[in-house]
């Protein structure tokens, strides 16, 4: 059975959504990153980058949400693009655009908006600008299209859905009006039973809620011990 190492963040949720959509049997293993469980020896052996998600599938260990989505999609033949090089190229481009652009910039925008101490104006402005710019790229692509690739629901849409859950928190309520096509995609996926089942994982484990000194020590390691 697949072991899914997760917390409540957007990247594990993408993978939970795939597993639920595909009807794959899996065992969710909570990694409480606020308590520093991503840094223990057992988890470091699975993901040397010390972040969730990661999966174990038989002999295979896969980390990084984009890699896991692609691995599971190729393994099952589900939620991929149409089977031709043009569409495959589009799927890879957008999947990596989300993984290497949307994710990091939205993550940093969130950090500087909600967690970083002052002075932070320059960093907050830069990452908010880049987060909005990336959302704008997605929104323009989705204008007049139901899905990102091949007119069908793929792992790219799943990857974006996870970020739509945090859109207002990261970029402010105005983002909900600024990116109507992204919001529409998120709502379409959010209405699916698989999405509700994936989100239920967040409540399955009581993750440490306090953003106290222990949280900062484990999540913001540049601050030192
Ligand atoms: N590129 C990675 C990023 C993973 C990531 O940032 N995971 C967050 C949760 S959404 C995490 O584990 N944070 C804990 C930490 O930074 O220590 C992916 O797509 O899986």
Nearest CA to ligand 1 atom 2: 64
CA of 84 to the centre of ligand 1 (A): 32
Q: Region 86-109: what's the mean pLDDT?
A: 98
Long-range contacts (CB closer than 8 Å, 24 or more residues apart) made by 190-194: 190/161, 190/164, 190/165, 192/21, 194/17, 194/20, 194/21
Pocket test for ligand 1, best of 6, 11, 39, 159 (most atoms within 8 A of CB): 11
Ligand 1 centre from 85 Cα, in Å? 30
CA nearest neighbour of 9 among 143, 96, 106: 106
What is the average pLDDT score of the chain?
A: 97
What angle separates helix 121-142 from helix 103-114, to the nearest 10 degrees? 140
Q: What pLDDT sits at residue 225?
A: 63
Which pLDDT score is estimated for 92? 98
pLDDT confidence of 10, banded at 50, 70, 90? very high
Residue 186 Cβ inside 6 Å of ligand 1? The answer reads no
Ligand 1 lined by 19 (C-beta under 6 Å): no
pTM of the model: 0.97
Assign 223 a pLDDT band (cuts: 50, 70, 90).
confident
Q: How far is the CA of 32 from the centre of ligand 1 (A)?
A: 12
Q: Which of 5-19, 99-113, 151-165, 210-224 has the lowest mean pLDDT?
A: 210-224
- Residue 99 pLDDT level (bands cut at 50, 70, 90): very high
- Provide the percentage of residues in the chain whose pLDDT is more than 90: 95
CA distance readout (Å), 115 to 68, 122, 137, 214: 28, 15, 26, 14
Residue 224 has pLDDT above 90, yes or no: no
* 144 conformational bin, left if phi > 0, alpha if psi -120 to 50, beta if neither: left
Mean pLDDT of 162-175: 98
| Gap from CA of 6 to ligand 1 centroid (Å) | 9
Total number of residues shown for the chain: 225
Interval 16-30: pLDDT, tens: 999 999 999 999 999
Average pLDDT over residues 76-104: 98
Section 65-90 average pLDDT: 98
Residue 25 C-alpha to ligand 1 middle, in angstroms? 23
Our mutation pick for probing the ligand 1 site, out of 12, 47, 52, counting the most ligand atoms within 8 A of Cβ, is 52
Give CA–CA dist 63/74, Å, rounded.
15
Residue 11's pLDDT band (cuts 50, 70, 90): very high
């Amino acid at each position: 059975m697949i072991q899914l190492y997760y917390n409540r963040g957007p990247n594990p949720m993408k993978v939970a959504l795939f597993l639920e959509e595909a009807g794959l049997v899996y065992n969710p293993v909570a990694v409480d990153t606020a308590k520093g469980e991503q840094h223990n020896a057992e988890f470091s052996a699975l993901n040397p980058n010390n972040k969730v998600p990661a999966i174990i599938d038989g002999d295979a260990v896969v980390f990084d949400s984009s890699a896991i989505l692609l691995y599971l999609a190729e393994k099952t033949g589900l939620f991929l693009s149409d089977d031709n090089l043009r569409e495959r190229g589009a799927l890879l481009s957008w999947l990596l655009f989300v993984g290497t652009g949307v994710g990091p910039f939205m993550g940093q925008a969130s950090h500087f908006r909600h967690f970083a101490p002052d002075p932070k104006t320059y960093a907050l402005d830069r990452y908010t600008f880049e987060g909005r710019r990336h959302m704008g790229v997605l929104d323009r692509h989705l204008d007049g299209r139901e899905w990102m690739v091949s007119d069908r629901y793929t792992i790219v849409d799943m990857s974006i859905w996870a970020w739509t859950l945090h859109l207002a928190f990261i970029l402010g309520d105005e983002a909900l009006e600024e990116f109507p096509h992204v919001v529409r995609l998120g709502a379409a996926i959010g209405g699916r039973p698989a999405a509700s089942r994936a989100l239920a994982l967040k409540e399955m484990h009581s993750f440490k809620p306090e953003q106290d000194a222990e949280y900062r020590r484990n999540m913001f390691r540049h601050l030192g011990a």
